[in-house]
Amino acid sequence: MSGRGRFAPSPTGQLHFGSLVAAVGSWLRAKSRGHEWLVRMEDLDRTREVPGSAADILATLAAFGLESDLPVIVQSRRRERYEQTLQLLRDAGHVYACHCSRSDLAEFNGVHPANCVRLGSAELAPAAWRVRVGSAQIRFHDAVFGDIEQDLDKQVGDFVLRRSDGLHAYQLAVVVDDAEQGIDEVVRGADLLDSTPRQIFLQRLLGLPTPGYLHLPLVLDEDGRKLSKQLRSRPVDARDPLPALRDALRHLGQHAPSLPSPEATLRAALQRFDPRAIPAINRTNVAMQDD
Ligand code: GLU
């Protein structure tokens, strides 16, 4: 059976160089294994969305020779699926309503304790839904960064699956979508390494398969900060894709030939794709710089 990889941008601005690296890396990895490559638009958080950027990102990807093998899935049209999944967890007693505000949690260093600290309080804010992590310790193998381990209770705490404003959390949506789309390996930026144990935890609660994981080295600016769309750093130029494409391939440690089109460049890079050449940039520094 043929497998699937994916690239899942959030439409919070134009495609920047760091996202291009994730797109190219996930494409090369999927294609080198004879798999399909899908694009999914992660637009759940409408407050962060920049109007027009979803279409702009897709057009930019196409200019780089990167097109989804199946129709693009858009998360904002799939809220019912996320709600059904939340209901399953609610029925099984894995989630609870939580009225804590950020300031309530300050004394816990952001790691949510095993119960809502405001339960029983007179004026309750609208509830978020949190999943109980218990004493879960999650281990997984990343194809670039090696063995990773996280104590969810000490490092993360009970985490939000639906925010108090009704928005389903990324952690829930990504698990539902990766499973439903049959993604068998997730390739994305190393800023999400620390989210992976939460996603594996949810997969286990829901009885879903855990895909393989390969995290790509982040692109940092001169001060060692992650490039993000929020900073509007270096949007790539869809009218002149070759320099950025070659730069992305070099960042991934891959063959970056001088050929006349993005398609020819990608094909040549694919023929010589070597996942062992992808550099594992120190993720601790990266995580500390993350926003
Ligand atoms: N939507 C996320 C982003 O734009 C990526 C999520 C993922 O690949 O799991 O950074």
The H or E element containing residue 235 is none
Give bridge partners of residue 168 from the DSSP assignment. Answer: 162
pLDDT reported for residue 16: 92
The ligand 1 site (C-beta within 6 Å) comprises: 8-10, 42, 174, 188, 192
pLDDT reported for residue 232: 43
Task: Determine the distance separating the centroid of ligand 1 and the alpha carbon of 8, expressed in angstroms.
Answer: 5
Task: Determine the distance separating the centroid of ligand 1 and the alpha carbon of 41, expressed in angstroms.
Answer: 9
The class (CATH top level) of 79-171 is: alpha beta
Atom of ligand 1 nearest to the CA of 178: 9
Mutate to test the pocket of ligand 1, among 27, 42, 199 (most ligand atoms within 8 A of CB): 42
**Cα of 27 vs its chain's centroid, Å:** 15
Mutate to test the pocket of ligand 1, among 7, 10, 210 (most ligand atoms within 8 A of CB): 10
Atom of ligand 1 nearest to the CA of 229: 4
pLDDT reported for residue 290: 34
Atom of ligand 1 nearest to the CA of 10: 4
4-78+177-189+210-284: CATH architecture: 3-Layer(aba) Sandwich (3.40)
Q: How would DSSP label each residue in 188-215?
A: EEGGGGGGHHHHHHHHHHHTPPPPEEEE
Contact status, residue 10 vs residue 75, Cβ threshold 8 Å: no
User: What dihedral angle (degrees, nearest 10) is formed by the CA atoms of 16, 22, 27, 29?
Assistant: 160
The H or E element containing residue 129 is strand 128-131
Question: Can you give the pLDDT of all 291 residues of the chain as single tens digits?
Answer: 579 999 999 999 999 999 999 999 999 999 999 999 999 999 999 889 999 999 999 999 999 999 999 999 999 999 999 999 999 999 999 999 988 877 777 777 777 777 776 665 545 667 899 999 999 899 999 999 999 999 999 999 999 999 999 999 999 999 999 999 999 999 999 999 999 999 999 999 999 999 999 999 988 766 666 655 444 467 999 999 999 999 999 999 999 999 999 999 999 999 999 999 999 875 543 333 333
Q: 136: closest CA among 83, 63, 55, 203? A: 203
Task: Determine the distance separating the centroid of ligand 1 and the alpha carbon of 192, expressed in angstroms.
Answer: 8
Kindly list the strands in the beta sheet with 137-142, ordered across the sheet, starting from the edge strand earlier in the chain: 146-151, 137-142, 212-216, 185-189
Task: Determine the distance separating the centroid of ligand 1 and the alpha carbon of 40, expressed in angstroms.
Answer: 9
Q: What are the domain boundaries of the chain?
A: 4-78+177-189+210-284, 79-171
Residues 6+ apart with CB under 8 A from 280: 144, 145, 146, 217
Angle subtended at Cα 95 by Cα 93 and Cα 98, rounded to the nearest 5 degrees: 135
Identical fold for domains 4-78+177-189+210-284 and 79-171, yes or no, is yes
DSSP 47: T
Q: Is 94 helix (H, G, I), strand (E, B) or coil?
A: coil
Task: Determine the distance separating the centroid of ligand 1 and the alpha carbon of 245, expressed in angstroms.
Answer: 20
Token digits of residue 35: 């798999």
Q: 86: closest CA among 182, 162, 158? A: 162
Residue type, 153: D
Task: Determine the distance separating the centroid of ligand 1 and the alpha carbon of 124, expressed in angstroms.
Answer: 32
